[in-house]
Amino acid sequence: MRRAERLHALSEALRRSGHRGRTAAQLAQELEVSVRTIKRDLAALEASGLPLWSRPGPGGGYGMLNSGTLPPVTLTDAQALSLLAAVAAAPDAPYSDLAAAAVGKIMDVLDPGTRARVDQLATRVWVNRAPGSLRSTRSACEQAMVEQRVLRIEYVDAHGVASTRDVEPILFANTHGTWYLVGWCRLREAVRWFTIHRIQRASVTREECTGHTVDEIGTPPATATSVRPMGR
């Protein structure tokens, strides 16, 4: 787990703990790191502005002030269920882990009646998740896209030919249920579409991208659209 992901998971654990809080040892066990690492991460979260509290001594621990949580959210049963279904059905989508965490936040602040009904309705929606790409691979692709840094990948094409590529990520695209990383391939000196589940390994380099844009991909088909919310 990368440090950024661990910090996010730590803030979520503190938020879920409510007024009770969690001890450093409990947090360390949950995130599978040392107590020393947890305390260093807690200091980093506090320095970033997250409203944390701490109680020393027996029965003490760490938690998050109410100002660091979401206010109550009003959703219909169907709206809440649609969020759960959408996230569960797309585990290979970019940033799906963060989406699941965000939906978890929303579910936590629903009124108890709605949450109970949604929990019951959720048993009526099944998802058969096919094996997907490695979480570490997707994390590297996501990070490179956000930070616009060159991504080094070990890739196996549809014919089984392996190669190592340095790619400048431009966009993620989903076509017929398959996710692609579309970017400028420095080996081929052209835009290429890389099937994400064919990327065997990926690492983010320190080198910044040179500025390739979505316009270089070409005109999207009439059925294609971005995930930008409608009306914005």
User: 45, 36, 40: which is closest to 13 by C-alpha?
Assistant: 45
Q: Which of 28, 43, 68 is the endpoint of a domain?
A: 68
Tell me the per-residue pLDDT of 149-188, one tens digit each, with 9 for 90 and over.
Answer: 999 999 999 999 999 999 999 999 999 888 999 999 999 9
What is the rounded CA–CA span in Å between residue 220 and residue 102?
A: 29
Whole-structure pTM over 0.75, yes or no? no
What are the residues whose beta carbons fall under 8 Å from the beta carbon of 150, sequence distance 6 or more? 144, 166, 167, 168, 186, 204, 205, 207, 208, 209
57 and 84 in a common domain? no
208 and 141 in a common domain? yes
211 and 140 in a common domain? yes
> Domain for residue 225, yes or no?
no
Phi, then psi, of 154 in degrees rounded to 5 = -105, 115
Report whether pLDDT(66) > 70.
no
> Domain for residue 85, yes or no?
yes
Q: Which residue has the higher pLDDT, 150 or 230?
A: 150
| Beta partners for residue 202, in sequence order | 153
- CATH code of the domain covering residue 189: 2.30.30.520
107 confidence band (pLDDT: 50, 70, 90): confident
Task: List the domain range (segments joined by +) for residue 202.
Answer: 135-217
> Domain for residue 224, yes or no?
no
Q: Which residue has the higher pLDDT, 216 or 223?
A: 216
- CATH code of the domain covering residue 52: 1.10.10.10
Q: What is the count of structural domains for the chain?
A: 3
Tell me the per-residue pLDDT of 195-208, one tens digit each, with 9 for 90 and over.
Answer: 999 999 999 999 99
Percentage of the chain with pLDDT > 90?
46
118 and 89 in a common domain? yes
> Domain for residue 130, yes or no?
no
